[in-house]
Amino acid sequence: MNNIFVSIALCFMWAHGFAQESVLNYVSSPYISKDNRLTSLSTLQDYLEDWSIDRSYPFDASDPFEYYKVSYQFDDSGSTMNGVLDIGYGGFTGSIASDFAQEFNAYFEMMIVDDDSRDYVKEIVSTSTVDGGYMFHESEKIVSFYVNSKPRKGRVMGSVIFNTITESELKAFAKDFIQKMKFK
């Protein structure tokens, strides 16, 4: 029952708590830059087509999330993966869970509502400045993330989809993405 309450609260915060201002006003990351922002639905669709990136649900230009071109270079192979990041920022006004793991697990359950959790990879990544978590379905090329600042002033959530990527590469990217996220 407690997880249901936390899931409902997260859903409410997600729908109503995200700032309409640029994410770049609140966070910095080597993955998010003004020059890589996709500012219209047509530029987003062109980028998706150029890199043969498929998205199973339609993009909504009116949602509070922003879209960015993203690339990740793997140290071991030197190859670069291209993708699209959708990200939103929300201010944090209090704690709905006793710890981040409980909060992230509630978010995870909300996101996979009708799926089998055994088909997903999920992990919590913490640094001295953020608590974050990521998850992805083992057969898809999209990773969802949820990151809180330390101390709790704000959060970002969203997803990244790549044109081609292995499970181990997706894990490496997700960890790096969370570890490099800095809140202002």
The confidence score (pLDDT) of residue 79 equals: 79
Name the average pLDDT for the chain: 80
CB 23 within 8 A of CB 181: no
Say if residues 68 and 37 touch (Cβ distance below 8 Å).
yes
**Does residue 1 surpass a pLDDT of 90?**
no
Distance separating alpha carbons of residues 105 and 41, to the nearest angstrom:
32
Contact call for residues 22 and 39 (beta carbons, < 8 A): no
Within its chain, how far is the Cα of 44 from the centroid?
A: 17
pLDDT at position 161 over 80: yes
115 pLDDT exceeds 70?
Answer: yes
Q: Is the pLDDT of residue 156 over 70?
A: yes
Whole-angstrom distance, CA of residue 65 vs CA of residue 18:
8
Domain count, the chain: 1
Say whether pLDDT at 171 is over 70: yes
- For residue 29, the 8-state DSSP code is B
The residue range of the domain holding 37 is: 2-183
Q: Residues 45-92: pLDDT tens digits?
A: 788 777 777 655 455 555 668 889 998 887 766 778 889 999 999 886
Strands 154-162, 182-183: pairing is: unpaired
